[in-house]
């Protein structure tokens, strides 16, 4: 994910609800339980870890009794939860030489603090969990310890910084895929192969090479392990790769050929509502603009129209609704229309967002629309709004105004969606419905006339019509001396 790429806004749940979710996550709730369980007899090692002799008791405290834990994973879960308790300050080392602990001040914040206090501790736990997920498993580490007791990173083929950066990139792409959806963000699940490919397949490569596909497969195996470690902190919900699909390849387990008819068997991952909060916070702390729906509600109409220009349609509408909800209708309409004026590069898209906003207001906005009927930039959209609301005595637009509005609308659509199928259909419809369209449109005094005509030449499937559009674009440029 590029740091310079503008991100769509995300709608987060209230802090109180997120804090309840945080408290209910398996890892943080276990950490709190162990912090309350620890007493004067609890002993830890030099790094603050529970000594091996106490892990069975800690596991039993968490409910991992022999009957409930036939696989014997309880001690490992207890050790992980204890690390989170130490990292979050739920327990503190009282005496390093004796290896004793005491209750940390953070435990009170977790149990009786504000939602923000709880979320702050959860974010600390999240960072610790992500750091753990970037480390190779203990068996690999044990085999790479030299005779002098130091870790030989070269023998592991593991670069801690690169591994952490790769996981950060994966999570960043997952966030982008999630908030970029038009539907409710928290309902979007991403197939693991798609997520791995987003990091490894070069942009524009239609058919990945065998080497790239092998890298994707290896990344999927690693991500499958990492997401299983991350899921207990509540960042994601994860459906692991079906073990039946794993095959042996040079001694390594790799996913078999992906069957697109049942891609869920290759792993599915979804950011939870708490995960959206966590990732948005991490991105913001990294200096990446990660807006929230509602960020523009208290700003002026110019900031609203400019800020939503790059948003997906649904996100833009949500932002506009919040902005309108805080204002009187007539005044809001006047402010929007004033901000929509201009001949700069972003003006067409501002006017498109202005139209979207005005479609949400009632008839009390009519005076503001009538005030701009004579405006060459706003008169067309004002007439459209008045006609849609059944207003009387609306003067018909001139031919020049109709063509200007057409160019302006196409320019906005081009900026918003690029060469989309919707824009292609609009281009085909215009050329079909208006005979002599290109003979007239090149004369329109709009900054984007030539750009729009060039786009029509690219998009129209009929070669003859496309050639007419390109000729008209040349005339438009010549007229402006370009």
pLDDT digits (tens, 9 = 90+) for 444-479: 999 999 999 999 999 888 898 889 999 999 999 998
Q: Hey, which residues does 248 pair with through a beta bridge?
A: 253
Predicted confidence at residue 249, as pLDDT, reads 44
Looking at the predicted structure, is the pLDDT value of residue 434 above 80?
Answer: no
Predicted confidence at residue 154, as pLDDT, reads 59
Look up residue 179 and give its two tokens. 């908030």
- The residue ranking higher by pLDDT, 127 or 481, is 127
**3-state secondary structure labels for all residues of the chain:** CCCCCCCCCECCCCHHHHHHHHHHCHHHHHHHHHHHHCCCCCCECCCCCECHHHHHHHHHHCCCCCCCCCCCCHHHHHHHHHHHHHHCCCEEEEECCCCEEEECHHHHHHHHCCHHHHHHHHHHHHHHHHHHHCCCCHHHHHCCECCCCCECHHHHCCCHHHHHHHHHHHHHHHHHHHHCCCCCHHHCCEEHHHHHHHHHCCCCCCCCCHHHHHHHHHHHHHHHHHHHHHHHHCCEEEECCCHHHEEEECCEEEECCCCHHHHHHHCEEEECHHHHHHHHHHHHHCCCCCCECCCCCCCCHHHHHHHHHHCCHHHHHHHHHHHHHCCCHHHHHHHHHHHHCCCCCCHHHHHHHHHHHHCCCCHHHHHHHHCCCCCCCCHHHHHHHHHHCCCCCCCCCCHHHHHHHHHHHHHHHHHHHCCCHHHHHHHHHHHHHCCCHHHHHCCCCCCCHHHHHHHHHHHCCCHHHHHHHHHHHHHHHHHCCC
- The residue ranking higher by pLDDT, 340 or 260, is 340
- Pick the closest to residue 59 from 76, 41, 40, 39 (CA basis): 76
d(CA 277, CA 2): 20
- Pick the closest to residue 7 from 234, 307, 296 (CA basis): 307
* 43-57, 65-79, 406-420, 427-441: least confident range: 427-441
Residue 365: count other Cβ atoms within 10 Å of its Cβ.
23
- Pick the closest to residue 36 from 77, 85, 79, 84 (CA basis): 85
pLDDT band at 70 (very low <50, low <70, confident <90, very high): confident
Taking the alpha carbons of 412, 418, 422, 426 in that order, is the dihedral positive or negative? positive
pLDDT band at 347 (very low <50, low <70, confident <90, very high): very high
Structure-token match 């869920």, residue found: 264
* 197-206, 281-290, 356-365: least confident range: 197-206
d(CA 120, CA 89): 12
- The residue ranking higher by pLDDT, 154 or 430, is 430
CB 140 within 8 A of CB 154: no
Predicted confidence at residue 415, as pLDDT, reads 86
pLDDT per position as a tens digit, 85-140: 999 999 999 999 999 999 999 999 998 999 999 999 999 999 999 999 988 765 55
Look up residue 219 and give its two tokens. 């990344």
> Would you put residue 287 in left (φ > 0), alpha (ψ -120 to 50) or beta?
left
- φ and ψ at residue 156, rounded to 5 degrees: -85, -15
| Chain centre to alpha carbon of residue 150 | 40
Q: What angle do CA 220, 79, 84 make, to 5 degrees?
A: 80
pLDDT per position as a tens digit, 202-232: 887 878 888 898 999 899 999 999 999 999 9
CB 240 within 8 A of CB 230: no
pLDDT per position as a tens digit, 141-194: 545 555 665 655 555 566 778 889 999 999 999 999 988 755 445 567 999 999
pLDDT per position as a tens digit, 331-346: 999 999 999 999 999 9
- The residue ranking higher by pLDDT, 210 or 4, is 210
Looking at the predicted structure, is the pLDDT value of residue 251 above 80?
Answer: no
Q: What share of the chain in percent tops pLDDT 90?
A: 64
């Amino acid at each position: 994910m590029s740091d310079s790429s503008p991100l769509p806004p995300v709608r987060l749940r209230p802090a109180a609800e997120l804090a309840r979710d945080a408290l209910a996550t398996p890892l943080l709730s276990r950490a709190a339980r162990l912090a309350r369980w620890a007493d004067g007899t609890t002993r830890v090692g030099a790094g603050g870890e529970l000594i091996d002799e106490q892990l069975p008791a800690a596991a039993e405290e968490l409910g991992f009794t022999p009957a409930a834990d036939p696989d014997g994973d309880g001690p490992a879960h207890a050790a992980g939860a204890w690390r989170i308790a130490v990292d979050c300050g739920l327990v503190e080392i009282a005496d390093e030489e004796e290896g004793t602990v005491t209750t940390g001040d953070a435990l009170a914040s977790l149990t009786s603090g504000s939602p923000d206090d709880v979320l702050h501790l959860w974010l600390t736990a999240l960072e610790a969990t992500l750091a753990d997920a970037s480390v190779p498993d203990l068996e690999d580490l044990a085999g790479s310890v030299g005779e002098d007791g130091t870790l030989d990173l070269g023998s592991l083929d593991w670069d801690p910084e690169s591994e952490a950066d790769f996981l950060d990139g994966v999570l960043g792409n997952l966030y982008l895929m999630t908030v970029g959806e038009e539907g409710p963000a928290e309902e979007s699940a991403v197939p693991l192969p798609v997520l791995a490919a987003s990091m490894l397949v070069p942009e524009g490569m239609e058919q990945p090479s065998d080497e790239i596909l092998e890298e994707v497969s290896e990344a999927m195996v690693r991500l499958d392990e990492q997401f299983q470690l991350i899921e207990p902190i509540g960042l994601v919900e994860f459906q692991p790769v079906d073990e039946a699909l794993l095959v042996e390849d040079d001694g390594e387990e790799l996913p078999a050929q992906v069957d697109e008819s049942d891609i869920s068997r290759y792993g599915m991952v979804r950011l939870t509502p708490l995960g959206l909060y966590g990732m948005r916070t991490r991105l913001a702390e990294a200096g990446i603009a990660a807006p929230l729906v509602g960020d523009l509600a208290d700003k002026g109409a110019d900031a609203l129209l400019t800020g939503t220009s790059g948003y997906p349609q649904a996100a833009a509408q949500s932002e506009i609704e919040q902005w309108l909800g805080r204002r009187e209708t007539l005044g809001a309409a006047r402010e929007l229309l004033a901000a929509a004026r201009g001949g700069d590069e972003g003006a067409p898209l501002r006017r498109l967002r202005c139209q979207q906003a005005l479609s949400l207001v009632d008839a009390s906005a009519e005076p503001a629309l009538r005030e701009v009927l004579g405006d060459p930039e706003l008169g067309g959209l004002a007439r459209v709004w008045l006609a849609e609301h059944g207003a009387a005595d609306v003067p018909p637009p001139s031919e020049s105004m109709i063509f200007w509005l057409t160019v302006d609308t196409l320019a906005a659509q081009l900026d918003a969606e690029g060469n989309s199928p919707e824009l292609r259909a609009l281009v085909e419809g215009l050329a079909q419905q208006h005979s002599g369209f290109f003979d007239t449109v090149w004369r329109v005094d709009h900054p984007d006339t030539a750009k729009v005509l060039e786009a029509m030449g690219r998009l129209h499937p009929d070669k003859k019509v496309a050639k007419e559009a390109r000729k008209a674009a040349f005339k438009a440029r010549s007229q402006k001396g370009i």
